[in-house]
A and B are shown apart, each in its own frame.
Chain A
């Protein structure tokens, strides 16, 4: 099991553009959470998907949206990119359907907005 995988590893976008990040959860996991980690800070919760629905959301604007597919993989979309969106985006999976809230993290996608 490769664990949680994320793609791409890193990318560079221009202000105003849109970006899609992808996450495949650990085998047997049904829940995906997304976090933003700015330089020098801890991860900050964006939102969580379970059963293809957004279940909880942190303090992020509507420019941040997501999706979960029937195979439990997930996408994070960010519209109208701002310089401040430059960060490491982490995906974490868990098996909430089995009653386990322990989150396993992926390696992250490094987004740079110029």
Chain B
């Protein structure tokens, strides 16, 4: 079974703090993704990575950065947390698409609920 783990289930930080969210997958997947989930807005892509040291901006990259130094690990960084970054953060991984396109089935981690005070 694919396993995607995230470093914390719940996190509380203060405005201006630097925040690191870590994600690890054990299926040797090429692709890794960071989403945020807010009520009524569904899942919005922040960044994704299709290989080590490679990254692409998603729909809402502002205020975030990412790091992928190893294939199994993808980190999301909030350089200076703000209250509007309070959200559920979901990490996912996938292999390259088998029917065309860059992504096959995405496997999600349990999520990190981040509160910025």
Is the A/B pair a real complex?
Answer: no
On B, residues with C-beta under 8 Å from A are none
